[in-house]
Amino acid sequence: MRTRKDSPQNSSYGPGGDGAQIAYAIVDSTLGRLLVAGTERGICFAAMGEADATLVAELRSDYPRASIRVFDPNRREDSRIARWADALADYLAGRSKMPAPPMDIRGTSFQFAVWDQLRSIPAGETRSYSEIARRIGRPRAIRAVGTANGANPISIIIPCHRAIRASGHLGGYRWGLERKRKLLQMERGATSRSGQAVQDMP
C-alpha cells in the first residue's frame, strides 16, 4: 500500500537538474576512474568508468539543465566533493567504512522506497529484486524495482550492486558486471575482517 503519492521528492533542484550548481571530482579507484558530484546540499551523482570524458558526459546526460563544473580546491563549498571522492575510493580499496555523505537526489516515492531498501542491505549480502519488492509492500512490482534500481544516481553509496536475480545471477549493472562482482567480493572480504559500519560525513 502506498502511503505517499508517487511524485518527485524534494531536492534542491528541478527536473534534469534545473537550477542546480554541480561540482565534480574524478579520482583513481580500484575499479577504474571514479567521478563524484554534488551540490551545496549533498552528493547527487557517483559513477565508475575508464575514461574521464565518458563519466562527465554521463553526468551531463543525467543533469542536462544543471550548471556543471570541475571542483575548485580554492572554493570552500567544493572542498567536500574531493573528500567524498577520496572516501569512496578508500572504501572501494577496502581501507575504510562505507561513507555516508548527505545526499541531494531527486526521485519518486517508489524509487526512494527501493533505494532505502538497497541501503538497508548489509555489506557483503544481496537481495533479489522480488525480495526487495516484497519488503516495500509491492510484491508484483519486480520489474519496476529493477527500473528504480537502474535509475539510482549514486553508485555504491546507494548499493544497487547488492540487488540480484532470484536465480542468484548478478543481473545487470550500469557500470559493468565485472565491477559488480568485484564490489561484492570486496565487501564480503572487508565485512569478514572488520564487521559492518558506515562513516557519516559532513
175 contacts 49 by C-beta, under 8 angstroms: yes
The sign of the CA dihedral 9, 15, 18, 22 is positive
- CA distances from residue 11 to 33, 42, 75, 200 in whole angstroms, order as listed: 27, 10, 22, 20
The catalytic site residues sit at 160
Measured at the alpha carbon of residue 63, what is the angle toward residues 143 and 18, in degrees to the nearest 5?
A: 115
Q: At what angle do helices 109-120 and 142-150 cross, to 10 degrees?
A: 80
The sign of the CA dihedral 185, 106, 174, 129 is positive
84 contacts 38 by C-beta, under 8 angstroms: yes
